[in-house]
Structure 1
Amino acid sequence: MARNMNISFLGTSSGGGPSISRNCSSLVADVIGDGSLWMIDCAEGTVRQFQMQHRGQGDPVLKAFKVAKLFVTHMHADHVMGIITFLRHVLHPPLIASSGDLPPSDGPPQIELYGPAGLRTFVRSIFTMTLTHTGERYVVHELLTSSDTPTSCDPAMLHPSECPGQNFLCDDNGFWKGVTSGTGYYGEVVVDAGPILHRDPCIGYVLHEPNPPHRKLVILGDTYDASPIIPLIQPSATMPVSLLIHEATDAYISRQIDPSARRTKDEVDSKVAARGHSTPVMAGTFAKKIGAQQVVLNHIGSR
Structure 2
Amino acid sequence: MSGTKPPSALSSVKITFLGTASAQPSSTRNHSSLALHLGGDVWLFDCGEATQHRLQKSSVKMGKIQKIFITHTHGDHIFGLLPLLASRLNGSGGTAEGVEDPRLHVSTGENTQPLEIYGPLGTRAYVRNGLMYTHTLLGAPYVVHELRFPTDPLGDFTTLPRNAAELPTGRNIDQIDGHWPDVFADNLVTVSAAPILHSVPCVGYVVNERPVPGKMDPKEYIPAIKRTKTPMSVMSRLQQGEDVELADGTILRGPPRRHGRKIVILGDTYDPSPIAPIAMDADILIHEATNAHLPGIDPTTKEEDTYETVEMKARSHGHSTPQMAGAFAKRIGTKRLFLNHFSARYAGDDDVNAETAEVMNAIGSLAAGEYGGEVTCSRDLMSIDIQLPK
Bucket of the pairwise TM-score, normalised by the shorter protein: 0.7 to 0.9
1:145-294 aligned at under 5 Å gives the runs 145-152=149-156, 157-164=161-168, 165-171=170-176, 173-183=177-187, 188-211=188-211, 212-233=258-279, 235=280, 240-255=281-296, 257-258=297-298, 261-262=301-302, 263-294=305-336
Contact persistence 1:109–1:163 (CA under 8 A): no
Does 61-70 or 257-266 show the bigger shift?
257-266
Question: 1:8: Cα distance to partner?
Answer: 0.4
1:88-142 C-alpha deviation (Å, 9 max, x unpaired): 0000036979832122233424310001011101101110111110111110001
| Aligned partner (choices 127, 133, 137) of residue 133 of structure 1 | 137
Unaligned 5+ segments in structure 2 are 1-8, 212-257, 346-390
Contact persistence 2:85–2:91 (CA under 8 A): no
Contact persistence 2:290–2:319 (CA under 8 A): yes
CA distance in 2, matches of 1:242, 1:213: 11
Contact persistence 1:219–1:244 (CA under 8 A): yes
CA distance in 1, matches of 2:54, 2:160: 36
Unaligned 5+ segments in structure 1 are 54-60
Contact persistence 2:204–2:264 (CA under 8 A): yes
Question: 1:259: Cα distance to partner?
Answer: 5.6
What residue number does 2:122 align with? Answer: 118
Larger Cα-atom Rg: 2
CA separation of 1:264 and 1:182: change in aligned 2, threshold 3 A: same
- What's the secondary structure of 2:286's corresponding residue? strand
From the two aligned structures, give the one with the greater helix fraction: 2
CA distance in 2, matches of 1:2, 1:101: 40
CA distance in 1, matches of 2:79, 2:341: 16
Question: 1:153: Cα distance to partner?
Answer: 9.8
TM-score by length of 2: 0.68
1:181-222 C-alpha deviation (Å, 9 max, x unpaired): 244xxxx21000001111111100000123123311000000
Contact persistence 1:121–1:151 (CA under 8 A): no
1:231-279 C-alpha deviation (Å, 9 max, x unpaired): 122x2xxxx2100000000111022x34663233233122111101001
TM-score by length of 1: 0.87
CA distance in 2, matches of 1:230, 1:47: 32
What residue number does 2:5 align with? Answer: none
CA distance in 2, matches of 1:153, 1:260: 43
Aligned length: 282
1:70-109 aligned at under 5 Å gives the runs 70-93=68-91, 99-102=99-102, 103=104, 104-107=106-109, 108-109=112-113
Question: 1:225: Cα distance to partner?
Answer: 0.6
Q: Which amino acid aligns with 2:196?
A: I
Contact persistence 1:243–1:295 (CA under 8 A): yes
| Aligned partner (choices 25, 28, 36) of residue 18 of structure 1 | 25
CA distance in 1, matches of 2:317, 2:151: 24
- What's the secondary structure of 2:191's corresponding residue? strand
Question: 1:51: Cα distance to partner?
Answer: 1.2
CA separation of 1:129 and 1:151: change in aligned 2, threshold 3 A: farther
Q: Which amino acid aligns with 1:106?
A: T
Question: 1:143: Cα distance to partner?
Answer: 0.6
Identity of aligned residues (%): 42
Question: 1:154: Cα distance to partner?
Answer: 11
CA distance in 2, matches of 1:76, 1:153: 17
Q: Which amino acid aligns with 1:65?
A: G
Contact persistence 2:265–2:286 (CA under 8 A): yes
CA distance in 2, matches of 1:133, 1:3: 35
From the two aligned structures, give the one with the greater strand fraction: 1
* 2:30 is equivalent to residue 37 of structure 1: no
Question: 1:152: Cα distance to partner?
Answer: 3.4
Contact persistence 1:120–1:151 (CA under 8 A): no
